[in-house]
Structure 1
Amino acid sequence: MKLPKTMVLKGNNGQEDTTDYYLCVLNSHDGSSALKVLVSPVRIVCANTQRAAMARAKSSFSIRHTGGAHGAIAEARNALGLAWRYMDEFEAQAAALYAQPMEQDEMRRFAKALVKADDPSATTTARNNRQQTANSIVKLFVSSPTASNIAGTRWAAYNAVTEYFDHYLPVRGAKTNSAASMTRALRAITPGSGIDTTKLEAFRLLQTL
């Protein structure tokens, strides 16, 4: 569900970098789990889904299945209030990342740290695969046509991560490109998935490294 709020950053080339906000609702139709709602900022230039952990605002929440409509309405109103607070904080922190330049050497170190390419406990094959992932993320940071107006910033670094996982990450067992795209899309809006966790970690690292 598209929300009537948009985040706009002024790009380096004078163009606007736009992110829209959506509410995604996930539900089990047998009542076995709570209805889950999450705020999903989507950078529309390449439809990559942003996820970030905020100290004072949640990006996802659950609503219990109850028999009373009044209780459900009250919880929904509370959830929407949380959503607006999350969007305000996300915009402030995104703008802070955009204001910070990032060199390619910094980007290489960040990408390797994010995917744990140098983890001594991993096998040689695993480390090589992780390094290939890091290289792919750096390549998007350097040359993605969707990030030309935010190039050389920490915001561009974060978007290189989300673009890779939303559009290029290999999907095991997928027989067609559409099947792979569907799997990536579901991962992008599933709280607690491996991809979701990696995006959260990317946002955290870019604020602290």
Structure 2
Amino acid sequence: MAHNLNFNNRTGKYSFFSVKEKAWHNLGQTVQEYPTSEEAIKFAGLDYDVEKSPLFTKGSRIIENSNEIEIIDYELEVPNYSANVRTDNNTVLGVVGKDYHIIQNREAFSFFDAIVGDENGILYETAGVLGNGERIFITAKLPDYIRVGNGDDITEKYIFLTTSHDGSGSITAAFTPIRIVCQNTLNASLKNISNVVRIRHTVGAKQRLKDAHRVMGLVNTLGKELENTFNHWSKITVGDDEMKKIIQLALCPNMETLNHLKKGNFDEISTVFKNTVDDAFAYAMMSDTQQMETTKGTLFGAYNAVTGFYQNVKTYKNNEAKLQSIVMGGTAQMKSQKAFELCEKYAHWGTDSLMMN
């Protein structure tokens, strides 16, 4: 199943909700009003608990009695490991070590409560369950915006959180600005401020989850700095050749290709990479969202050319692959961050800085 959404046999529904927009693969619940955290948990099928259960394997021993041999089977407990079990249907979600600490689905929402209180208008937009319940995700929209130019180019500020119950990964929270006019996810961090926090499932995870917003600098610092940066970039003119150079360097797959670019050995560069660059450059030149005052022939437009390529042009195996690439630290996020760094260099030092390591 490409979407991998959990089907809840208890409710007869897919475990996913979204507000107003069509739900993922037209499955799940589409609601018209933003729900409370309690409502979101129910709409998304997140209203189940997970608990550790002892893990056993089979053992056997041979008993010799007179002329008979008897083999007796017995259960043997596996030390230092447990099974994480979904309590509403007794599904085993994964095997975890003794130090693994469960974060219940409802506790994941405490992260959002720690960022901004309900009185400030945090809005839960989507949430869902993947697989048998081993992974969940939540997105929430923050109440204010990043405004570029005269205010028509608006970027909404989102928090994305995912966690797993199978021992496969950390609790991950990411600040994800989304430019409304083209739905680009803008993966950007400034200086020493990270837009991603990862918390291991150990004792103390609950408190670290509540405090994570302080590390991320989500609401005030990063959002305001991004607004200032994007507005500055929207006033810097970038020629077509410079635009293409930024795209080439941002999408560059390895050091070998980078060296060819620096030396001008374009005949040595793979056709796949050339086609990728051409597609991104075509998006930069022809997309309606690249014809705005803030993006047409500007440094902000160069940055959006890269993020827009991954969001709107590139094809993915499925929605999960796209999510992984764009939000969860995959290729799109890394390349978008590279584009951000290149644009910062260009804004400070001009064209010559692009080829600097």
TM range (shorter): 0.7 to 0.9
Find the counterpart in structure 1 of residue 286 from structure 2: 143
Q: Structure 2: how far apart are the matches of 1:115 and 1:65? A: 34
Higher relative contact order (CA 8 A, sep 6+): 1
Q: Structure 2: how far apart are the matches of 1:198 and 1:8? A: 23
Q: Structure 2: how far apart are the matches of 1:77 and 1:105? A: 40
Please identify the structure whose Cα radius of gyration is greater: 2
Q: Aligned with 1:27: secondary structure?
A: strand
Find the counterpart in structure 1 of residue 199 from structure 2: 63
Find the counterpart in structure 2 of residue 161 from structure 1: 306
Find the counterpart in structure 2 of residue 200 from structure 1: 337
Check whether the contact 1:102–1:153 (CA below 8 A) recurs between aligned residues: yes
User: Which letter maps to 1:199?
Assistant: S
TM-score, with length taken from structure 2: 0.50
Q: Aligned with 2:308: secondary structure?
A: helix
Q: 1:82 aligns with which of 217, 221, 233?
A: 217
Deviation at 1:72, TM superposition (A): 4.5
Distance 1:69 1:126, change over 3 A: closer
Q: Structure 2: how far apart are the matches of 1:163 and 1:196? A: 12
Deviation at 1:207, TM superposition (A): 1.8
Distance 1:139 1:61, change over 3 A: same
| Structure 2 runs not aligned, ≥5 long | 1-139, 346-353
Find the counterpart in structure 1 of residue 328 from structure 2: 190
Q: Structure 1: how far apart are the matches of 2:243 and 2:222? A: 27
Q: 1:30 aligns with which of 166, 174, 197?
A: 166
Deviation at 1:23, TM superposition (A): 0.4
Find the counterpart in structure 1 of residue 136 from structure 2: none
Deviation at 1:96, TM superposition (A): 1.9
Q: Structure 2: how far apart are the matches of 1:113 and 1:91? A: 24
Distance 1:16 1:64, change over 3 A: same
Deviation at 1:182, TM superposition (A): 4.5
TM-score, with length taken from structure 1: 0.81
Check whether the contact 1:100–1:154 (CA below 8 A) recurs between aligned residues: yes
Check whether the contact 1:165–1:195 (CA below 8 A) recurs between aligned residues: yes
User: Which letter maps to 1:9?
Assistant: V
Q: Structure 1: how far apart are the matches of 2:251 and 2:332? A: 11
Find the counterpart in structure 1 of residue 143 from structure 2: 4
Find the counterpart in structure 1 of residue 6 from structure 2: none
| Structure 1 runs not aligned, ≥5 long | none
Matched residues, number: 197
Q: Structure 2: how far apart are the matches of 1:140 and 1:61? A: 31
1:69-116 deviations in whole A, cap 9, x for unaligned? 87256424535x621222122222222211211111111222222233
Distance 1:197 1:107, change over 3 A: same
Q: Structure 2: how far apart are the matches of 1:54 and 1:109? A: 22
Q: Structure 1: how far apart are the matches of 2:165 and 2:269? A: 38
Check whether the contact 2:189–2:222 (CA below 8 A) recurs between aligned residues: no
Q: Aligned with 1:18: secondary structure?
A: strand
Deviates more, 1:103-112 or 1:63-72: 63-72
Identity of aligned residues (%): 23
Q: Aligned with 1:23: secondary structure?
A: strand
Q: Which has the higher strand share?
A: 2
